């Protein structure tokens, strides 16, 4: 079976408005340079690297919120590199994103149930008041929240609950791919662990393919089969978690690993995977 994503020689250049001349277009910065890799079906791939290394740009390009300036992205066998909005529409349901900051990505004037129902209606997954309510309630249960929470507003929830709502909104569509960009960064350790366990469970139950972006290798280790280490828009290493934690090849990865607090490195971890 082919990979879900096949990325070849991917390049992304974005306009740099800080250097825009008075007339004419701004110059473009090369943000991603010549990335080639695959993501298997049902695989969770971690994307790590220091701030500014291009993780978010890569994630946004995978789900085609950004267009590549070179190379190609194949999703489920189809080249989606340069599809316009209309041509992308059939793929959108399968390419879901959980955002870093749920407070800014969840509309404060909508109830939780409305927030989860909106994409369901948009993608024609459910129609009619009752069907939408049922789907939303079900999605809330799947992320371990009471359906009663559907009547509340995002700002009335805790940080962990809000992040679960973001996950519920993404998985309600039963997508094949979910991008999670730094989704546990703002949470305390115990909420982080709960969210990671939840994602691991959903991945198994729904056969999700996940790209999990984090600047923290210890977080990635809990969830992902492979880790991609990025620096300055390039892939430094891409290996299984087991290999990576047994001994990273690249000095940059060694530095990232050294930044993990020592008690986090549990000697049993390798034998568990």
Ligand X SMILES: Nc1ncnc2c1ncn2[C@@H]1O[C@H](COP(=O)(O)OP(=O)(O)O)[C@@H](O)[C@H]1O
Q: From the list 3, 6, 8, 14, which residue makes contact with ligand X (rule: CB under 6 A)?
A: 14
Tokens of 172: 């309600």
Which is nearer to Mg ion, 55 or 221 (by Cβ)? 55
Q: Which residue, chain included where needed, has tokens 């999670």?
A: 180
Interatomic CA distance for residues 125 and 223, integer angstroms:
28
Query: Is residue 100 a contact partner of residue 181, using CB atoms and an 8 Å limit?
Result: yes
For ligand X, the closer of residues 53 and 253 by Cβ is 53
Smallest distance from ligand X to CB 66, Å: 8
Q: Total residues at the site for ligand X (CB under 6 A)? A: 12
Is residue 67 close enough to count as binding ligand X by CB under 6 A? no
Which two three-digit tokens encode residue 52?
Answer: 């500014």
**Among ligand X, Mg ion, none, what binds residue 192 when CB lies within 5 to 8 Å by partner kind?**
none
Structure tokens at 223: 């969830």
Residue 213: alpha-carbon gap to chain centroid? 6
Name the site residues for Mg ion (rule: CB under 5 A).
55-56
Among 57, 81, 214, 253, binds ligand X (CB under 6 A): 57
> Nearer to Mg ion by C-beta: 100 or 161?
100
Kindly tell me which residue out of 16, 148, 156, 249 binds ligand X, with binding defined by CB under 6 A.
16
Q: Which does 14 bind (CB under 5 to 8 A by kind): ligand X, Mg ion, none?
A: ligand X
Among 7, 39, 49, 166, binds ligand X (CB under 6 A): 49
- Of the two residues 180 and 241, which places its CB atom closer to Mg ion in the complex? 180
Give the separation between CA 120 and CA 104, rounded to whole angstroms. 20
Nearest to ligand X of 49, 248 (CB atom): 49
Q: Which stretch binds ligand X (CB under 6 A): 50-58, 196-204, 237-245, 253-261?
A: 50-58
Residue 218 backbone phi and psi in degrees, to 5: -70, -30
Determine which residue in the list 31, 116, 220, 235 makes contact with ligand X, applying CB under 6 A: 31
DSSP letter for each residue of 135-161? HHHHHHHHTT--GGGGGS-GGGS-HHH
Q: Is 49 left (phi over 0), alpha (psi -120 to 50) or beta?
A: left
Q: How far is the CB of 101 from ligand X (least distance, A)?
A: 13
C-alpha distances (whole Å) from 125 to each of 6, 31, 96, 181, 183 are: 27, 36, 14, 25, 25
Q: Which of the choices ligand X, Mg ion, none does residue 52 contact, using the CB cut-off of 5 to 8 A by kind? A: ligand X
**According to the binding rule CB under 6 A, does residue 68 interact with ligand X?**
no
Q: Taking the complex as a whole, how short is the minimal distance between the CB of residue 112 and ligand X, in angstroms?
A: 28
Q: Does 29 bind ligand X (CB under 6 A)?
A: yes
- Contacts with 214 (C-beta within 8 Å, 6 or more apart), sequence order: 46, 47, 48, 182, 184, 185, 220
Q: Angle CA(262)–CA(230)–CA(97) in degrees, nearest 5?
A: 95
Chain residues in the site for ligand X (CB under 6 A): 14, 16, 29, 31, 49, 51-57
């Amino acid at each position: 079976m082919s990979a879900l994503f096949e990325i070849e020689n991917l390049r992304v250049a974005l306009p740099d408005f800080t250097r825009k001349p008075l007339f004419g277009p701004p110059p473009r910065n090369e943000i991603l340079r010549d990335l080639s890799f695959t993501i298997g079906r049902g695989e969770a791939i971690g994307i790590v690297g220091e701030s500014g290394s291009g993780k978010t740009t890569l994630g946004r390009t995978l789900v085609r919120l950004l267009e590549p300036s070179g190379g190609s992205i194949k999703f489920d066998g189809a080249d989606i590199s340069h599809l316009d909005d209309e041509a992308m529409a059939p793929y959108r349901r399968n390419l879901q994103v959980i955002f870093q900051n749920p407070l800014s990505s969840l509309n404060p004037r909508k109830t939780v149930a409305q927030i989860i129902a909106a994409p369901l209606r948009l993608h024609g997954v459910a129609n009619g008041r009752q069907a939408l309510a049922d789907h939303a309630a079900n999605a809330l249960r799947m992320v371990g929240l009471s359906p009663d929470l559907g009547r509340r507003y995002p700002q009335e929830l805790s940080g962990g609950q809000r992040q679960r709502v973001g996950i519920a909104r993404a998985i309600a569509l039963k997508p094949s791919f979910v991008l999670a960009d730094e989704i546990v960064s703002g949470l305390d350790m115990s909420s982080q662990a709960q969210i990671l366990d939840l994602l691991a469970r959903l991945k198994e139950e729904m056969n999700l393919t996940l790209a999990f972006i984090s600047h923290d290798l210890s977080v990635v280790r809990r969830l992902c089969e492979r880790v991609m280490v990025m620096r300055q828009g390039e892939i430094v290493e891409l290996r299984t978690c087991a290999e990576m934690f047994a001994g990273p090849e690249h000095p940059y990865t060694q530095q990232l690993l050294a930044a993990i607090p020592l008690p986090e490195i549990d000697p049993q971890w390798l034998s568990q995977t």
